[in-house]
Structure 1
């Protein structure tokens, strides 16, 4: 009997020991998870709070105002439902013209900015003694603010080109660049491309420097010319950079505001009023905040849709290549 009792007591003590040993790792893992959650909250919490206050709250508040007739000043807010959107698509011809003009500008700016940026990247990645100076010179316009840059180019178009036209007699310099609808549009394009090409160039430089030189040397040995190397080796390898640059230029071109405001302010006779300037004028000049928010919501949906489609299609081409 004593032996049986001793065996039972030993079994009980073993069970208690096993239970204690199994509880310790569980308790330790739980403490570790709580610690990680606390650290995550400590570091991410303030950023998320700031993002919520600065971005999310105004965004959802703007969506609410887009269904009202608020003028942006008084406290009287009336719910009007879809009336603002019906007005935009049926009666607001200036909004429709600004949308088409912005689309045209975006297509032109995307193509020119990427072509010039890639060309500059190819230039400054060659074995040139002045390549570092050229990189600095080409990137410098991006450091200037859009408004300041616009006012500088406004002086160049109005005074500088006029003086060059008198001295040289070249018809190109004698044009009223900012006084005519067609030339004013191309004036905005010139300034925007001149400013943005340097930034795009930096991205393409980083991609070109990662192209393996062994592949290029092997292609040269096999008799490939520069165009064949560029088309069949360089371009497929820099495809991820092309996706990034297309995304950046698409978003920035659709949202152009400062250069449009400082160069032409939408003139002459609103012929160069881009969508962002049209929204600003509607909300803060005409004091029709509700309609302005409706335009901004449509603008956001269009830009988001185009950006997602562009990135998706570009990624598929990267995989195929």
Structure 2
């Protein structure tokens, strides 16, 4: 039998959904459609947009700085995704054991995620420049310095957040399966790779998805830490789009076209990643 609450929800569900749906349409659907339209126009404001077809896309694709930023971002995303998830999983495994001060360490590792990206960028710029000044260098000396500086920043910020997700997953693992493996003589490595990790695939899917999307869309940390220096060689795609749109008069349409291309790439990568990791998920 359906309860009174269930009957009420089934009758009035549209009314409850409507505010969220309207907010979604206004805040996402309409700007998204408008963004695609503007990528096909020459404009300085929405009011003076003139349709020019795919010329903006041609300008975006022919921009060598865009391709450099794209490959630079892809490499950055791969490196940070691997480091963040390996470190977060290892720390989560350690902090789910009965060790003194585990809750305190969890809080400490999570705290960097609470700091804004711009603030983190300036903090790490001061720290890294303080180290590099002994060799007469700075974080903006080369794109390589900027790359590894951003990797350090991203990992320091994201590891604690992913750690919390992994801890939640580890705490729900069936203890009888782990105990059975131990009784059967499985080593720690065998238990990890053949039992723990397969059962943790839902958490790994979520963390990998978040790491990939965070890596691709990183903007404020890049802006504060290197601002693309030197000569835009440490520029990620989001910063390249911003600089094209706001920094080059008459290229607003090209910047919008880059944003659409970037959206398609990130969406395809995210869908592919989710499908690949979701296939490996198992149930106890």
TM (norm. structure 1) is 0.82
1:249 aligns with 2:218: no
Return the offset for 1:291: 1.1
Task: Give the match's secondary structure for 1:99.
Answer: helix
- State the shift of 1:251 in Å: 0.9
Report matched runs for 1:125-274 at 5 Å: 125-159=96-130, 161-162=131-132, 165=134, 176-274=138-236
* Unaligned ranges ≥5, structure 1: 1-31, 166-170
Determine helix, strand or coil for the equivalent of 2:42.
Answer: coil
Matching of residue 60 in structure 1 with residue 33 in structure 2: yes
SS at match of 1:300: helix
Give the drift of 1:72. Answer: 3.5
Residue 306 (str. 1) matches residue 252 (str. 2): no
Distance 1:111 1:244 in 2: 14
Deviates more, 1:119-128 or 1:212-221: 212-221
Conserved? CA contact 1:147–1:259, under 8 Å: yes
Alignment of 1:4-43 (within 5 A): 39-43=12-16
RMSD, aligned CA: 2.1
Q: Distance in 2 between matches of 1:72 and 1:228?
A: 60
Q: Is the 8 A contact 1:138 1:198 kept in 2?
A: yes
- CA distance in 1 between partners of 2:106 and 2:152 (Å): 19
Runs of 4+ in 1 over 6 A off after TM superposition: none
Distance in 1 (alpha carbons) for counterparts of 2:105 and 2:36: 46
Segments of structure 2 that go 5 or more residues without pairing to the other structure are 1-5
Indicate the structure (1 or 2) with the bigger Cα radius of gyration: 1
* Separation in 1, partners of 2:275, 2:282: 11
Instruction: Specify the alignment match of 1:318 in structure 2.
Output: 281
Distance 2:174 2:260 in 1: 45
| Count of aligned residue pairs for this structure pair | 278
Do the aligned partners of 1:236 and 1:318 also contact (CA within 8 Å) in 2? yes
Structural mapping, 1:278-297, within 5 Å: 278-287=240-249, 288-297=251-260
Q: Which residue of 2 aligns with 1:69?
A: 42
Residues 157 and 178, structure 1, Cα contact 8 Å, conserved in 2 = no
Equivalent pair of 1:72/1:289 in contact (CA under 8 Å): no
Cα drift, residue 127 of structure 1? 1.3
Aligned-partner SS, 2:140: coil
- What does the per-residue CA deviation read over 1:235-278, in whole Å, with 9 as the maximum and x for residues that have no partner? 11101111111111111111010110000001111001100011
Per the alignment, residue 53 of structure 2 pairs with: 81
* 1:198-224 C-alpha deviation (Å, 9 max, x unpaired): 111011101111112222222222222
CA contact (8 A) 2:125 2:139 kept: no
The equivalent residue for 1:28 is none
Q: Do 1:98 and 1:273's aligned partners in 2 also have CA atoms closer than 8 Å?
A: yes
